[in-house]
Amino acid sequence: MSDLFLIAHIAGRAVAIESRQVESVVDIGAIVPVPGTDRQVRGLAALRSRVVTVIDTHAALGLPAPEIEATRAVITQVEGHHYAILVDSLEDVAPFDLTPLSPGIVLDRGWRTTGCGIVERAGEPILAIDLRALVPGLAAIAA
Amino acid sequence: MVTAHPRGPMDDLLQEFIAETRETLEALSGEIVAWEASPDDRDRLDAIFRFVHTVKGSCGFLDLPRLARLSHAAEDVLAAVRSGERHPDTQLVNAVLAIVDRIGEIVEAIDAGVPLDDTGEEMLITALEEGASVPTQAHTPIASRNPTRSVRLNVDLLDRMMSGMSDMVLARNELARRLRDDGADPTVEAALERLSLTVAEMRDTVTRTRMQKIDALFSALPRMVRDTAAELGKSVTLHVEGSDVELDREMIEMMRDPLVHIVRNAIDHGLEAPLERRALGKREAGRLTVSARQSGNQIIIEIADDGRGIDTDRLIAKIAGNGGRSAKELDALSDKAKLALVFEPGVSTKEAVTAISGRGVGMDVVRANVEQIGGRIELSNAPGKGLRLAIHVPLTLSIIATIGVGVGDQRFAISRQAIEEIVRVGGDAIRVDMLGGTPAATVRDRRMPLVDLGGLLDLSGDNASTMLVIVGVPGGSFALAVESVLDHEELVIKPAAPAVMATGVYAGQTLPDSGLPMLLLDCAGIASAAGLQFGTEVAVDEVAEEAQAPSVSALLFDDLDGARRLVPLTIIDRIEPVPVEAIRFSGGRLRLSVDGRIIPLAVQGEWDRRATVSVLRLRDGNAEVGYAIAEALDIVVLPDTVVPAKEAGPVAGVVSIDDEQIELLDLHWLFATHGAELGAAEPPVCLIDGAESAWMKTFLKPVLEGAGYRVATRLKPGEAAAVVLTMGGSETPPTGNVPVVRLRRDRAVGDSADTSIYRYDRDGLLAALAQSAGGR
């Protein structure tokens, strides 16, 4: 059975995000830093009347900071809080079949916790990721 | 007839009660049917039990005695079923259901404002008894439902309204900025001004739909406490603090029942009766403190009493007695776990069941309600001294008055409640110094630790942090150094994401009108993040302080004979210097003239060579005795051990204070010996009675008082007149054995049998009175 996936680019790689996790896709304006938090928390931003916590995806994945600050973000809601997950760019939304990671493939660094399978677009395998794994400070993430 | 409709603020509560009961009844109707089908179903039983219990609670509070009686009766029976004493047979189930129906009918009648005949209610209650016959219930048709003046809205709808409102404010700000930049013409600006006003007003209204001052919860407490206390014959002083904390309406609604239960429990189970309290050395009026405060991302509602606390041993005995776990098993529990046993269903340490809080059932329901909204209850118990119960509820949404502070490029909000004052560093009065490597602030005569916000948060600005915000946290105060202090704002605070809260220095986030998110600082969190250590917690101090209260304090003094003696403090009315001229040996003993009265004076030693002496005025009820001393020294705690004196006398015994032997005055002996005359010293009462009492009072009172009578026109309860004075031909009231002296208006005697006295015959009158009153 196919599900809708949003194809985005993070750190130069294409990733697939299950559309059920995506509330909206926005351009983030001014970000107010939150001193004292983990590096993954880029800060707070206003989204209309809502305050969202902006997640620095590079930091969450354990990657070096990008040269150009990302301003696009995918909004997701986890445990009642809204998060803006920064992405480099967005492609399209299309139905794909999610298949498990092929045996033997071990993801590196932060990708390991967030990768949850593979979707195939015209022969090109794309890593499907779970946004919740990028959000720090959650009690426990269901496998 | 239905109880009189309460007016005023109670109307709101009544409306809420009606809406709530109606709602619960609707939800309950399914349960009732299910219970009827299987009476052994414990969950259904509990649901119905909770309903009648809640109704009972609300009724006492709203003064609805009929509903209270019905629900109390049903609750009794259901409690018996819960404890296994009764079996839920058809007859019992029917009887309970009849009462539930009746409650529904009465509620509808109250709402419609129509009278409802109360015949048959007695029968409904009787039908609950074991072996009673099932009554045939006469249903009274009720006038059609009154449309209520309040509506219930989905919270999501309100939330959408609120966020829509915020969007509107931001849009208005944007518009205003653009117009200003473009130099708009005055008419447009005037229109914008009008829009701004409307938007501001509107926002206020919309916010109120969601938020409410916790006062809405607390305002009903004084009345409830008074009524409950009166019903139980107790005396309670209520202190309410923090009623201006604003909370999510939803939260307030959810807190209502738990709060009512806890307060009732505190009065019923916690606070002792006045006599018992006095015997324990406590104030007769129990103290009940209900307070609300925001702490970090929580609102804490605290209910503290100075009653008997929870007796865990009795609690264990009770639970062990109910079967289930053994006393041994329960004894092995930690103190905290033992205390938590009060939350077990159907537990109460109180033997007698009362209409107020019943049998402790409240507590399991209370905990369930609080946990339902993500809160928790903490107990801190001091057996014999009181119970402090803190309900922690998560701060989902609240309006907090804040002060904005700036560090570097960033702004933060600080709750105004936490701020003691804001000062600028400068001069000698307010300075910052380094003590070793630790900065300390001196603000006038106070010295306190200093936390540099910029340093703590790793934010460096161009300006020096010269503003000190003095904040109070549990245990003490500290100075928070910031670069600038901005404006004061009322902000809607929401909880921040877990990763943000995990830092421990933020209490929540908010979106001010600037459109830039802002964080609310948690001052207690900052103190601990900065490693500040304040002495023991305040709560501990208070308990320790209260622990001192029951011990007896005594006054240490040097007596006139050079001995050092003690007298319990409670008996001393006051201590005052008296010139020795006021002391006279008259009428066979030493007496002291003071405040226009004469009181007996006890003395040990020489007094007449001094110019003045200090007198302890000791009072026991109406009796007063003076005790002359040389000098009052100190107030000490009376040691428990008193070595009795060899023989009865002014000294009861000897105690040891700092290894010194000190004599303790024998109050009993003092009052028995010196106070005994007091009864006789009371002036005889001359009762003025009859038609001319006004004249007699005006003309004769000074004369009579000069002659040593106390003049009264009416007797106080328990008082007896020595003589009754009347005038003219007015009917002599029945006076029993009290002699009557009659005055007449004219000098001439009417007839020879007339024994009355001419009203201006002063000597004759006084002689007659003296003769009648017993030769005075």
Average pLDDT over residues A89-117: 85
Are B191 and B116 found together in one domain?
no
Q: Are B632 and B614 in contact (CB under 8 A)?
A: yes
The most distant pair of C-alpha atoms in chain A lies apart, rounded to whole Å, by 46
What angle is formed at CA B143 by the lines to CA B142 and CA B148, rounded to 5 degrees?
A: 110
**Cβ neighbour number for residue B312 with a 10 Å cutoff:** 21
Are B193 and B237 found together in one domain?
no
Are B434 and B445 found together in one domain?
yes
Kindly provide the ipTM of the predicted complex, given to two decimals: 0.85
Of B5 and A127, the structure prediction assigns the larger pLDDT to A127
Contact (CB<8Å) A37/B502: yes
- Residue B545 domain-assigned (yes or no): no
The pLDDT score that the predictor gives to residue A75 is 93
Are B89 and B119 found together in one domain?
yes
Contact (CB<8Å) B506/A34: yes
B583 vs B613: CA distance, rounded Å: 10
Average pLDDT over residues B476-500: 85
A36, A79, A83: residue with CB nearest B505: A36
| Percent of chain B residues past pLDDT 90, beyond the cut | 3
Average pLDDT over residues B269-279: 86
B40 vs A3: CA distance, rounded Å: 48
Q: Is the per-residue pLDDT at B542 higher than 60?
A: no
- Residue A140 domain-assigned (yes or no): no
- Residue B757 domain-assigned (yes or no): yes
Are B532 and B618 found together in one domain?
no
Of the listed ranges A99-108, B149-158, B373-382, B397-406, the least confidently predicted one is B149-158
The token pair at B318 is: 């009770």
Contact (CB<8Å) B500/A34: yes
- Residue A139 domain-assigned (yes or no): no
Q: Is the per-residue pLDDT at A34 higher than 80?
A: yes
Q: For A46-102, what is each residue's pLDDT tens digit?
A: 887 788 999 998 888 888 887 777 889 999 998 878 999 999 888 888 898 888 888
Look at residues B650, B679, B708 and tell me which one is the last residue of a structural domain.
B679
Contact (CB<8Å) A35/B510: no
Residue type, B87: H
**Beta strands per DSSP E along B552-644:** 553-558, 564-568, 572-579, 583-586, 589-594, 597-602, 612-620, 623-629, 631-637, 643-644
Tokens 């006084």 sit on residue = B766
Most B CBs within 10 Å, among A28, A32, A47, to test the B interface: A32
Average pLDDT over residues B736-742: 77
- Residue A141 domain-assigned (yes or no): no
Overall pTM surpassing 0.95 (yes/no): no
Q: Label residue B548 by pLDDT band (50, 70, 90).
A: very low
- Count structural domains, chain A: 1
- Residue A143 domain-assigned (yes or no): no
Are B269 and B291 found together in one domain?
yes
B721 vs B106: CA distance, rounded Å: 54
Are B75 and B166 found together in one domain?
no
- Residue B137 domain-assigned (yes or no): no
Helices of type H across B675-759? 677-681, 693-706
The pLDDT score that the predictor gives to residue A5 is 92
Three-state SS for B508-561 is EEECCCCCCCEEEECHHHHHHHCCCCCCCCHHHHHHHHHHHCCCCEEEEEECCC
The reply to whether B167 touches chain A by the CB within 8 Å rule is yes
The pLDDT score that the predictor gives to residue B332 is 78
Q: Label residue B5 by pLDDT band (50, 70, 90).
A: very low
The pLDDT score that the predictor gives to residue B735 is 59
A33, A45, A137: residue with CB nearest B499: A137
Look at residues B540, B571, B600 and tell me which one is the last residue of a structural domain.
B540
B497 vs A83: CA distance, rounded Å: 8
- Residue B136 domain-assigned (yes or no): no
The pLDDT score that the predictor gives to residue B702 is 77
- Residue B149 domain-assigned (yes or no): no
Are B243 and B389 found together in one domain?
yes
Q: Is the per-residue pLDDT at B221 higher than 60?
A: yes
B710 vs B687: CA distance, rounded Å: 8
Smallest CA–CA distance, residue A9 to chain B, in Å, is: 24
Pairing assessment for the beta strands B446-452 and B506-510 based on DSSP bridges: unpaired
Smallest CA–CA distance, residue B457 to chain A, in Å, is: 5
Question: For residues B506, B507, B512 and B516, what is the CA-based torsion angle, rounded to 10 degrees?
Answer: 30
| Owning domain of residue B472 | 400-540
Q: Is the per-residue pLDDT at B713 higher than 90?
A: no
The reply to whether A140 touches chain B by the CB within 8 Å rule is no
Are B628 and B712 found together in one domain?
no
Are B707 and B588 found together in one domain?
no
- Residue A142 domain-assigned (yes or no): no
Show residues of chain B in contact with A36, CB under 8 Å: 456-458, 503, 505, 529
Contact (CB<8Å) A51/B516: no
The token pair at B614 is: 């200090």
| CATH assignment at residue A120 | 2.40.50.180
The closest of B207, B200, B211, B222 to B244, measured between CA atoms, is B211
- Residue A130 domain-assigned (yes or no): yes
Look at residues B479, B507, B540 and tell me which one is the last residue of a structural domain.
B540
Q: Label residue B296 by pLDDT band (50, 70, 90).
A: low
| CATH assignment at residue B28 | 1.20.120.160
Query: Which B positions 107-136 lie with beta carbon below 8 A of chain A?
Result: none
How would you class B21 by CB atoms within 10 Å of its CB: exposed for 0-12, middle for 13-18, buried for 19 or more? Answer: buried
- Residue B560 domain-assigned (yes or no): yes
Q: For B34-54, what is each residue's pLDDT tens digit?
A: 777 777 777 778 878 888 887
- Count structural domains, chain B: 6
| Owning domain of residue A109 | 3-134
Interface size between A and B, measured as CB pairs under 8 A: 85
Contact (CB<8Å) A36/B459: no
Are B19 and B104 found together in one domain?
yes
Q: Label residue B142 by pLDDT band (50, 70, 90).
A: very low
- Residue B135 domain-assigned (yes or no): no
Show residues of chain B in contact with A40, CB under 8 Å: 499
Are B536 and B625 found together in one domain?
no
Query: Which A positions 84-113 lie with beta carbon below 8 A of chain B?
Result: none
Q: Label residue B549 by pLDDT band (50, 70, 90).
A: very low
B140 vs B718: CA distance, rounded Å: 52
- Residue B60 domain-assigned (yes or no): yes
Show residues of chain B in contact with A35, CB under 8 Å: 410, 457-459
Q: Label residue B597 by pLDDT band (50, 70, 90).
A: confident
Tokens 């802002």 sit on residue = B518
The most distant pair of C-alpha atoms in chain B lies apart, rounded to whole Å, by 115
Smallest CA–CA distance, residue B458 to chain A, in Å, is: 7
The reply to whether B459 touches chain A by the CB within 8 Å rule is yes
The reply to whether A81 touches chain B by the CB within 8 Å rule is yes
Pairing assessment for the beta strands B723-727 and B589-594 based on DSSP bridges: unpaired
The pLDDT score that the predictor gives to residue A16 is 92
